Structures are given as structure tokens and as C-alpha cells.
A and B are shown apart, each in its own frame.
Chain A
Amino acid sequence: MAALVPPPPPTTAADTTQKPKEDEKVDYFNLPCPIPYEEIHREALMSLKPELFEGMRFDFTKGLNQRFSLSHSVFMGPMEVPSQSPETIKIPTAHYEFGANFIDPKLMLFGRIMTDGRLNARVKCDLSENLTLKANSQLTNEPHMSHGMVNFDYKGKDYRSQFQLGNGALFGANYIQSVTPHLSLGGEVFWAGQHRKSGIGYAARYNTDKMVATGQVASTGMVALSYVQKVSEKVSLASDFMYNYMSRDVTASFGYDYILRQCRLRGKIDSNGTVAAFLEERLNMGLNFVLSAEIDHRKKDYKFGFGLTVGE
């Protein structure tokens, strides 16, 4: 996949990485802080996994004051129902979601409630300079579908660690450490008491101004590799490869992410025969128009959607 990417043209600095330029001699006591373990695929996911949808959506966010805002969103369209048969079954649905956000530098609270009875709450709170508490919970009216999760993140000078607690006796911990200014390595362990499962995983990430390469393996049989090349400030090309040893699923995908003055366009093609594009067009200040298209040639499943985002 990497061979598909053309060599980078000499462009001015792409300043998405946060590290200062260091001299040739590497100061190993002054390494930059890595990005969190769960976000190591961030760049690849940004280009390869846009929020594709089918139908119509309308999102409206209204800020009441500096810190408090309310959001309303309406979605109408077919919803896929999971089934055993190879062809997908879709039923038309419509729902409304009401949300309230409180954003403060030290404390963030998000709440969402949907008309079908789902409630989602998120908290992010900086307990001290380095310690952050994140909580996420989802309540539904169906039994056994409610989740809760609490994360404690500790950010060190050149490392980050996280401890996770979830319902169903889920415990997890991960740690990521910068090894050189560009390379960071990490590992994780988890234990799910309810399902009597445990596992470990390792991850590596190499990033420079022009490219990001990541690799992750876990004892669940998952192997994920990704590569993102920033061709210029506006364009980045991404590819990823997923392999699951247990289910023998292999997926490779290739995508582009083009940020223009008035729009952002993301396109993706993958080895399952799926082609997708996602266009976000800025019509006016605070008014965005979204178009989403996804074609699955193999399943003959075609999804098209449009939406409007107002506010923010």
C-alpha cells in the first residue's frame, strides 16, 4: 500500500505534529509526549472512517453562553437491522436527539438523549495538572445494553498511561512511551471478568512531519497497520490494513483527505469492494452541508445521505 503513495513534494512545514524541531543530537531526556494509546490511529481514522450515513440529518447547535450550549438533531432514513441472511434488511426510522454541553477548560460535560430512549453521558474532568478523569455511560431501555466506563489518564513528560474501569468487571490499562523523537511504543492489558477474557496488545507509532505509520497487535488476533502520508498541507493519503487471525478477515483500504478552502472531501476504497466519499461543504459561517455516499459493489448496497449542520 505504501508503494502507491507518491513521493512527497517539497512543501513547507505541515505543522500538525506538536514536537519542536530538535538538533541532530537527540536529547533522550527531553522527548515529546506521545499521543494517547487509544488514539494512535487517529490520522488514519480521520481520513478512512468518516461518519457515513444514509438518509437525512439535521444538526443544530445553539450556544446559550460561553460555556453552555444545546444541540438538537433530527435523523430520518433507513436503518440497517442485523440479520443472519447475507442481504441487508433496512427499516425506515426517524429520531430526534437532544443534547446539552457544558465546556470549561477544566470540566467538560456532554449529555445526549434520543427519542428511542437512549441516554448518553460523557464527562471529562482535569483532576490535576497531569491526571484526567474521563467517564462515559450509555443507558438504554433494553436490558444488558447499558454501558459504563471510567478512565483515568496520567500524562507524564514523555509517556502517558491510562487505567480503565468498566461495567461487567472490565479492567484495562495501557501505557505508551516515546522512545525517540519520532517513535513511540506502547502496550496494553485488559481483563473482562464477565466474559472471562483477557488479553494484551502492543502498538508502535512512527511519526514525522510528513508521514505517520502505526502498527498494533493484540492477543485477540487483531493486527492493524496504517500509513498516512501528508502530501501537502491540504492533502493527505492514508492506507490501512486490518487482519484478524481468529476470523481470518483481511481488509485493506486506501483513502484520500482533501481539505479545501470551502470544503473537505474524503474518499475511500477498500478491498471488500466498498467505495465511499464524504463531502463537507461550508456554505456560510456556521452552516455546513454534508454529502455522504457509500457503494458496496459486492453486496449491492448503496447508501446516500445528505445533511445540514448549523451552529458551532
Chain B
Amino acid sequence: MAAQARKGGISLPERRNPKKDDEGVIAKFSQSQVVVRGKQAANDAAFVTKKLMKSTGKAAWIAGTTFLILVVPLIIAMDREQQLNELELQQANILGTSAPPPK
């Protein structure tokens, strides 16, 4: 500070240091190491969570749309094929059972 003042620039009067002694308990507490670190940690955590949520959402979107394109038509097609097969089997059964024994 002193060096800066000597260089010729206008320096603010050093009001902070003398004031430090008569700060309130809350101010003291809020400036303490633990709280500052805690705040920082909370901020970081919030940031990371936000990012994580965003990327998870993106991944879920990609996975969902991919599933919709690749797998859903396959499931529908296979399901219908099975239904057709069952229908055919049923018809064969009806024909097969009704034809030989005429009740």
C-alpha cells in the first residue's frame, strides 16, 4: 500500500484496518474462514449440480429419442408379428379340430 502511494497514484485512505476491531459478532462470523469456505463449497456444489443436471437431461433426451427411433418400431413390429402368428395358429386349430370330428 505504501509503495503504491509513493508512486504518485491516488490511494484510498486505509479505513478498513482500524475499523476491524469494532465489527459486530455477525460480521465477524460471516468473514470467518469457515463460513467463507462453506459458501464457496456450496456455490461450487450448486454449479456442479446444475451442470450435472443439464448433461443428464441432455443424455436422457438423446437416449430417449434414440430409443424412440430404433427400438419402439421394432417392438411394435414384433408384437404385431406375434399376434399374426397367434391368429394363424388359432385359425389352424379351429379348422383342424372342426374338420375331422363333425359334432
Give the nearest-CB partner of A263 in chain B.
B77
C-alpha gap A263/B70 in the complex (Å): 15
Closest to A234 in B: B81
**How does the 8 Å CB contact mask read for A262-288 relative to B, with 1 for contact and 0 for none?**
110101010000011101000000000
Main secondary structure of the interface of B (DSSP, over half): helix
Contact with A along B66-86 (1 / 0, CB 8 A): 100110011001101100100
Contact (Cβ within 8 A) A267 B77: no
| Interface size, chain A (Cβ < 8 Å) | 16
CB-defined contacts of A277 to chain B, threshold 8 Å = 69-70, 73
**Residue B41 at the chain A interface, CB threshold 8 Å:** no
A189 CB within 8 Å of chain B: no
Q: Give the distance in Å from the alpha carbon of A183 to the alpha carbon of B62 in the complex.
A: 40
Q: Are B74 and A267 in contact (CB under 8 A)?
A: yes
Say which residue of A258, A262, A293 sits within 8 Å of B69 (CB atoms). A293
For the complex, what is the distance from the CA of A277 to the CA of B73, rounded to whole Å? 9
B77 and A269 contact, CB distance less than 8 A? no
B24-50 interface mask toward A, CB cutoff 8 Å, 1 = contact, 0 = none?
000000000000000000000000000
User: Are A295 and B69 in contact, CB atoms less than 8 angstroms apart?
Assistant: yes
Instruction: Give the chain A neighbours of B81 by CB distance below 8 A.
Output: 260-262
- B66 CB contacts on chain A under 8 angstroms: 269, 275, 295, 297
Least CB separation from A256: chain B residue: B74
Q: Name the A residues within 8 Å of B70 (CB-CB).
A: 267, 269, 275, 277
Q: Decide if the interface of chain A is mainly helix, strand, loop or mixed.
A: strand
**CB nearest to B67 among chain A residues:** A275
B65 CB within 8 Å of chain A: yes
Q: How far is the CB of B27 from chain A (nearest CB, A)?
A: 50
Instruction: Choose one: B62, B77, B80; the contact of A258 (CB below 8 Å).
Output: B77
How far, in whole Å, are A261 and B80 apart by their CA atoms in the complex?
10
Please, which residue of chain A has its CB at the minimum distance from the CB of B85?
A261
Report the minimum CB–CB distance from B68 to chain A (whole Å).
9
B80: which A residues are within 8 A, CB to CB? 260, 262
Q: Tell me the smallest distance from the CB of B67 to a CB of chain A, in Å.
A: 9
Bound state CA distance, A263 and B65, in angstroms? Answer: 22
Q: Which of B65, B69, B84 contacts A267 (CB 8 A)?
A: B69
Mask for B52-68, Cβ within 8 A of A = 1, else 0? 00000000001001100
B77 to chain A minimum Cβ distance, whole angstroms, is 5
Question: Given A260-B81, A267-B74, are A276 and B69 also a contact pair (CB < 8 Å)?
Answer: yes
A-B contacts, 15 listed (Cβ < 8 Å): A256-B74, A258-B77, A260-B78, A261-B84, A262-B80, A265-B74, A267-B70, A267-B73, A269-B70, A277-B69, A277-B70, A293-B69, A295-B66, A295-B69, A297-B66
Chain A residues proximal to chain B, CB less than 8 Å = 256, 258, 260-263, 265, 267, 269, 275-277, 279, 293, 295, 297
Q: Known A-B contacts: A267-B70, A275-B70, A293-B69. Give 10 more (CB < 8 A).
A: A260-B77, A260-B78, A262-B80, A262-B81, A267-B74, A269-B70, A277-B69, A295-B65, A297-B62, A297-B65
